[in-house]
Amino acid sequence: MKIELHEIAVKDVYDGYHDFGADNGVVGYDGKLNIRPRYQRNFVYNLDQSKAVMNSVLHGFPLNVMYWVVNDEDSYEVLDGQQRTLSVMQFLDHKYPIELNGQTMYVDSLPNDVYDQLMNYKFMVYWCQGTDSEKLDWFRTVNIAGEKLTDQELRNIAYTGPWLSDAKKYFSKRNCAAKKLSDPYAKGDPNRQELLELSLKWIADNKDTTINDYMAQHKSDADANALWQYFQHVIHWVQELFPDVYKQMKGQQWGLYYNQYHTDKDDENYNSSSMSKEIKQLMDDPEVTSKRGIWLYELAKGAGEPNAIKNLSLRTFDRRDAKRKYDDQTDKAKDDGVSNCPYCAKEGLDTIWKLSEMQADHIVPWSRGGKTEYDNLQMLCKKHNESKGNR
Per the model's pLDDT, the better-predicted residue between 103 and 139 turns out to be: 103
Query: Half-sphere exposure of residue 348, counting CA atoms within 13 Å on the CB side?
Result: 0
Residue 174 clears pLDDT 60, i.e. is over it:
yes
What's the pLDDT band for 374 if we cut at 50, 70, 90?
very high
pLDDT of 369 strictly over 50 = yes
Q: How far apart are CA 87 and CA 353, in angstroms?
A: 74
Is the pLDDT confidence value at 43 over 90? no
Q: In Å, what is the CA distance from 35 to each residue of 31, 183, 369?
A: 10, 31, 63
The stretches of 172-253 forming alpha helices (DSSP H) are 177-182, 194-206, 211-218, 225-241
Number of C-alpha atoms within 13 angstroms, CB side, residue 229? 4
Query: Could you give the CA distance from residue 114 to residue 344 in angstroms, rounded to a whole number?
Result: 93
Average pLDDT for residues 202-210, to the nearest whole number? Answer: 97
Q: How far apart are CA 237 and CA 243, in angstroms?
A: 10
Count, residues in the chain: 391
Question: Once rounded to an integer, what is the mean pLDDT over residues 171-176?
Answer: 87
Show Cβ contacts of residue 168 under 8 Å, excluding neighbours closer than 6 positions.
38, 39, 196
The b-or-e profile of 185-200 (16+ CB within 10 A means b, else e) is bbebebbebbbbbbbb
The dihedral sign for the CA sequence 276, 278, 281, 283: negative
Tell me the H-state helices in the chain.
10-14, 47-58, 82-92, 112-119, 132-141, 151-158, 162-171, 177-182, 194-206, 211-218, 225-241, 254-261, 266-269, 272-284, 294-302, 319-336, 342-346, 382-388
Assessment of whether the complete model's pTM goes beyond 0.75: no
Structure confidence at residue 150 (pLDDT): 80
pLDDT tops 70 at residue 283: yes
DSSP code for 151: H
- Res. 205 pLDDT band, cuts 50 70 90: very high
DSSP 314: B
Summarised one tens digit per residue, pLDDT across range 52-82 is: 999 999 989 988 888 888 887 788 988 888 8
For residue 95, is pLDDT > 50?
A: yes
pLDDT reading at 39 higher than 60: no
More confident residue, 285 or 174: 285
Q: Find all residues with CB under 8 Å of 215, minimum gap 6, and list them.
A: 155, 158, 159, 163, 164, 200
Average per-residue pLDDT for the chain: 90
- Maximum C-alpha span of the chain: 106
**pLDDT of amino acid 386:** 85
> What number does CATH give the domain 319-388?
1.10.30
Reduced to 3 states, what is the DSSP secondary structure of residue 306? coil
Terminal CA-to-CA distance of the chain, rounded, Å?
Answer: 63
Residue range 167-172: mean pLDDT, rounded = 93
Query: Sorting pLDDT into bands at 50, 70 and 90, what band is 145?
Result: very low
Question: What is the Cα–Cα distance from 244 to 158, expressed in whole angstroms?
Answer: 40
* Count of C-beta atoms within a 10 Å radius of residue 378: 19
- Flag whether pLDDT at 304 surpasses 70: yes
In terms of Cβ atoms closer than 10 Å to its own Cβ (0-12, 13-18, 19+), residue 335 is exposed
Domain ranges of the chain: 2-158, 162-247, 263-312, 319-388
Amino acid at 281: Q
357-378: average pLDDT: 92
Q: What is the CA radius of gyration of the chain?
A: 31
The rounded percent of the chain whose pLDDT value lies above 70 is: 92
Which contiguous run of DSSP H or E holds residue 126? strand 122-129
**HSE-up of 291 (CA within 13 Å, CB side)?**
11
Average pLDDT over residues 223-244: 97
At position 140, the amino acid (one-letter code) is R
